[in-house]
Structure 1
């Protein structure tokens, strides 16, 4: 709750104060131009990094791997895009941090680590797998971590069970004929 208060009440006040101070130093129109320029540069970086992240995710999916890291990075790029088109210098700094590959990888690793510790299946307590069986921290109860570090869902050499069945139920028409 406090974080949301800071984001929606204090941050705009800080942005406005900073824009006024920068405007008094370099001029109002130059400040507006700088804000617009940073939005265009940010949009370019977000688009470039987004395409790269999407390609990496598609390659992982073709190898039957879960692109968990790429999903987290894609979400960060969306947030970066919103921050970069929001007028202000403070949001631009955070937006550029999320758009640049080095810092984005660092933040994605931290978010993934934090989320792995909180993975809980619906209807089960923490650390409880199907049928009450426990599973390790960060491991999904469904066999594969959504963040790319768990066991693969389909390993080479998995047993395939084939079979046939016969439907022994009779339909109503057959019952009336007898």
Structure 2
């Protein structure tokens, strides 16, 4: 777990910084800042639209007695996408946009389902009482 947190909080920001410096040296500092702000605004809008769509599907499924498993997973992925898209950086924006768009989200969900099923079958999931 420590290694994963180390990567998230150390390696990814270093990669982001180096990419932003490279982009800044190519298109200029002001254009890079505009790009970062633009992707954050577009990302926030897309997250809002997709989030509202997922909430509507969730409510419709609940009203008809269907367990909204897909919608729960979609909602979690959109939440992560929102956090990534408002974080300054190009790499996090790319990952965030992949999580927002339904087509790419479906592909990622297939991998997530496989990962979750493997964890369950390996009995590698731990629960804790509160």
Kindly indicate whether the alpha-carbon contact (under 8 Å) linking 1:49 and 1:99 is maintained by their aligned counterparts in 2.
yes
Instruction: Indicate the structure with greater helix content.
Output: 2
1:49 aligns with 2:50: yes
1:58 aligns with 2:62: no
* Alpha-carbon distance between aligned partners in 2 of 1:116 and 1:62, rounded to the nearest angstrom: 27
Kindly indicate whether the alpha-carbon contact (under 8 Å) linking 1:46 and 1:81 is maintained by their aligned counterparts in 2.
yes
Displacement of 1:4 after TM fit?
2.4
Displacement of 1:113 after TM fit?
3.5
Displacement of 1:107 after TM fit?
1.6
Moved over 3 A (4+): 116-120
* Equivalent runs, 1:88-103 vs 2, <5 Å: 88-103=89-104
Which consecutive residues of structure 2, in runs of 5 or more, have no partner in the other structure? Answer: 124-130
Task: Count how many residue pairs are aligned between Structure 1 and Structure 2.
Answer: 121
Displacement of 1:6 after TM fit?
1.7
Instruction: Render the CA deviation track for 1:31-60: whole Å, top value 9, x for unaligned.
Output: 001000000000111111111111111111
Which is bigger in relative contact order (C-alpha 8 A, separation at least 6)?
2
Structure with bigger gyration radius: 1
Normalised TM-score (structure 2):
0.85
RMSD: 1.6
Kindly indicate whether the alpha-carbon contact (under 8 Å) linking 1:69 and 1:112 is maintained by their aligned counterparts in 2.
no
Displacement of 1:8 after TM fit?
1.2
* Equivalent runs, 1:77-88 vs 2, <5 Å: 77-88=78-89
Kindly indicate whether the alpha-carbon contact (under 8 Å) linking 1:53 and 1:73 is maintained by their aligned counterparts in 2.
yes
Which consecutive residues of structure 1, in runs of 5 or more, have no partner in the other structure? Answer: 121-125, 127-178
The residue that corresponds to 2:115 in the other structure is 114
Displacement of 1:106 after TM fit?
1.9
The residue that corresponds to 1:16 in the other structure is 17
* Alpha-carbon distance between aligned partners in 1 of 2:53 and 2:111, rounded to the nearest angstrom: 21
Normalised TM-score (structure 1):
0.64
